[in-house]
Copies of this chain bind each other. A is one copy, B any other.
Amino acid sequence: MKDLVMPLFQLDKTSSVPLHQQIADWITRQIESGKWLPRYKLKGEAELAKDMKVARGTLRKSMQTLIRTGRIVQVHGRGTFVASHEKQLEQPLAGRFITFSEALAEQGLSFKTKVVSQSIGYPPENIRKLLNLKSKQKVFSIQRVRYLSGEPAIHMVNHVSCEFCPGIERLDFWRIRLFDAIEKEFGLQIRSGKRTFEARSANAHLSGLLEVPTGAPLLFIEQISFLANGRAIECSEIHMKSDLIRVTTTLTR
């Protein structure tokens, strides 16, 4: 039993990416690529840390991340295992803040996005409150519909604070994802989000866009996204057909 199990892998101790994150990323890749299958038992923390030439505390920090994101499971005297999500197709939004497009992509679902309208201007009172804006500040608003296998499934209205994203209105959101734009085009890092869930009836506008009867029940989500410094960057109102998409959270006491 040589080092067949643990392929070599090089940590970059000079990188600005923290070691614990490099480790978590690498393990994530092992799992996502199928090299480590569900229920696979990892080596013990002590041995893993020695292999990787890091302190056990650093490795444990990676483990915490991987547990939070639902990729591994630890049981005290038994060991660390790749999580087995009985239904892989149903592991969205679990434990971490990911966008709906990321969630759909992770589930292997393809979708198309239609931009219904977009504009820049002074937001209504309620949006200004959610984003914590002063009265002179503008927002970029965009209304889109996402289609799953041809069927309209999600209606989104997003409001982005212009302060952080000058010129955002010139991007082509038929092609680019909103969060990709915010993060890659403007170098911002969205770190956390808050979602509030309600059930609402479809009004005339929504019933037309989502092709459901007026009054049909829709899952409504109000979302606020925050940067690392705690400032709100985006908020949105999302209506979705909950029979088409499952929204799930996994939480720990």
Contacts and interface: CB of A to CB of B under 8 A. Distances in A.
A94 B252 CA distance: 10
Chain A binding surface, main DSSP class? strand
A251 B196 contact: no
A97 B252 contact: yes
A246 B198 CA distance: 7
Nearest to A70: B194
A253 B97 contact: yes
Interface string A74-93: 01000000000000001001
Contact of A219 (B95, B198, B229): B198
Contact of A218 (B73, B217, B249): B217
A97 B250 CA distance: 8
Interface in A186-217: 190-201, 215-217
Nearest to A241: B199
A75 B229 CA distance: 6
A199 B218 contact: yes
B196 A253 contact: no
A251 B95 contact: yes
Interface string A17-39: 00000000000000000000000
Nearest to A84: B230
Given A198-B242, A199-B219, A200-B217, A193 B250 contact: yes
The bracket for how many chain A residues form the interface is 35 or more
A57 interface: yes
Contact of A196 (B95, B191, B247): B247
B248 A191 contact: no
B253 A251 contact: no
A68 B65 CA distance: 13
Nearest to A83: B230
A138 interface: no
Interface of A: 57, 68, 73, 75, 90, 93-98, 190-201, 215-220, 229-230, 242-243, 246-253
10 contacts: A96-B253, A97-B251, A97-B252, A192-B251, A192-B252, A195-B251, A199-B217, A217-B218, A219-B219, A220-B242
Q: Which 3 A-B pairs have the closest CB atoms?
A: A97-B251, A198-B242, A199-B199
